Structure 1
Amino acid sequence: MRFLGISQLSLRRLNAVFSAGIVRGTTSSAAMRLVQFHRGGEGGVRVGVEQAEGQGVIDLKAFDPSMPSTMRQFLEMGQKGMDCAKRALSSGQHVVERSDIRLLSPVTGPEKVVCVGMNYKDHCLEQNAPIPEEPIIFSNDSPYYRITTLYETDSLDWEVELAFVIGRKGKHIKEEEALSYVAGFTVANDVSAHDWQMKRNGKQWLLGKTFDTFGPLGPALVTTAALKDVHNLGIRCLVNGAADQDSSTNQMIFRTEKLIAWVSQFVTLCPGDVFLTGTPPAVGVFRNPPVYLKRGDVVECQIDEIGSIRNTVV
Structure 2
Amino acid sequence: MRLLNVAGRAVLETPEGRTDVATASAGRFGPDPQSLYGNWAEFSAWAATAQPTGDQPGGPLLSPVPRPPQVFAVGLNYVSHAEETGLAAATGRPLTFTKFPSSIAGPDGDLVLSGDQVDWEVELVAVIGSPAHRVSPDQAWDHIAGLTAGQDFSDRAVQMAGAPPQFSLGKSFLGYGPLGPALVTPDEVPDRDDLLLTCQVNGETVQEGRSSLMIHPVAELVSELSQICPLGPGDVIFTGTPDGVGMGHTPPRYLKRGDTVVTTIQGIGTMTHRCVGGPA
Alignment-derived partner of residue 77 in structure 2: 119
Q: How many Å separate the matches in 2 of 1:293 and 1:59?
A: 37
Q: How many Å separate the matches in 1 of 2:60 and 2:48?
A: 23
Q: How many Å separate the matches in 2 of 1:301 and 1:94?
A: 28
Say whether the 8 Å CA contact 2:118–2:154 is kept in structure 1: yes
Say whether the 8 Å CA contact 1:157–1:293 is kept in structure 2: yes
Q: CA RMSD in A?
A: 1.6
Alignment-derived partner of residue 10 in structure 2: 47
Alignment-derived partner of residue 236 in structure 1: 198
Asked if 1:34 corresponds to 2:3, the answer is yes
Alignment-derived partner of residue 280 in structure 1: 242
Q: How many Å separate the matches in 2 of 1:294 and 1:125?
A: 25
Helix, strand or coil for the counterpart of 1:95?
coil
Alignment-derived partner of residue 63 in structure 1: 24
Deviations 1:163-191 (A, max 9, x none): 01000012111111110000000000100
Q: Which moved more, 1:71-80 or 1:180-189?
A: 71-80
Q: How many Å separate the matches in 2 of 1:134 and 1:127?
A: 19
Alignment-derived partner of residue 95 in structure 2: 136
Q: Quick check: which one's strand share is greater?
A: 2
Matched-pair identity in %? 35
Q: How many Å separate the matches in 1 of 2:248 and 2:10?
A: 39
Deviations 1:134-155 (A, max 9, x none): 10000013222434433x4210
Say whether the 8 Å CA contact 1:153–1:196 is kept in structure 2: no
Match of residue 301, structure 1, among 234, 253, 263: 263
Structure-2 change in CA distance of 1:193 and 1:201 (3 Å): farther
Q: How many Å separate the matches in 1 of 2:75 and 2:228?
A: 17
Say whether the 8 Å CA contact 1:302–1:309 is kept in structure 2: yes
| Deviation of the 1:129 alpha carbon | 3.1
Q: How many Å separate the matches in 2 of 1:147 and 1:293?
A: 13
| Deviation of the 1:84 alpha carbon | 2.1
TM-score of the pair, normalised by structure 2: 0.92
| Deviation of the 1:202 alpha carbon | 5.2
| Deviation of the 1:94 alpha carbon | 5.5
Helix, strand or coil for the counterpart of 1:34?
strand
Runs of at least 5 residues in structure 1 that lack an aligned partner in the other structure: 1-31, 39-44
Helix, strand or coil for the counterpart of 2:158?
helix
Deviations 1:208-266 (A, max 9, x none): 00111111000000111112312211111000111011111121000111111110111
Runs of at least 5 residues in structure 2 that lack an aligned partner in the other structure: none
Asked if 1:249 corresponds to 2:211, the answer is yes
